[in-house]
């Protein structure tokens, strides 16, 4: 089984990241996939343009995560996020944890 963390910090790259996740999942359904958004990219979790696609990928097993520090910086409350998004205290720490536990790191 593959373990992959997709990292996004630029909101303009959401279409690319979601396309990468979809393509990866099409070939490797037996994978643990996490999409970590920090910096300005956390705003994508409030954008109607991407929510349906994120929800579909979440229903297929992808995990979506937001950095609490980035949410604070962007003045976004956890309650404003879709129910499928979880929050970690610091995105950079989450990246280190995942990579240390064997996750492949992808940043489109």
Domain 2-106: homologous superfamily in CATH: DsrEFH-like (3.40.1260.10)
- pTM for the full model? 0.95
Q: What is the pLDDT of residue 32?
A: 96
pLDDT in tens, 13-62: 999 999 999 999 998 778 999 999 999 999 999 977 899 999 999 999 99
Q: Helix 48-59 and helix 14-27: axis angle, to 10°? A: 20
Domain extents in the chain? 2-106
- Spatial neighbors of 8 by CB under 8 A, at least 6 apart, are 14, 17, 35, 36, 37, 38, 41, 44, 107, 108
């Amino acid at each position: 089984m593959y373990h992959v963390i997709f990292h996004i910090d630029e909101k303009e790259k959401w279409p690319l990241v979601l396309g990468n996740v979809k393509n990866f999942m099409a070939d490797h359904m037996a994978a643990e996939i996490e999409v970590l958004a920090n910096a300005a990219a956390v705003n994508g979790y409030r954008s109607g343009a991407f929510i349906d696609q994120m929800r579909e990928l979440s229903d297929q097993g992808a995990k979506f995560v937001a950095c609490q520090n980035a949410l604070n910086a962007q003045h976004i409350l956890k309650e404003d996020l879709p129910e499928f998004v979880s929050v970690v205290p610091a995105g950079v720490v989450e990246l280190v944890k995942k990579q240390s536990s064997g996750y492949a790191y992808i940043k489109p």
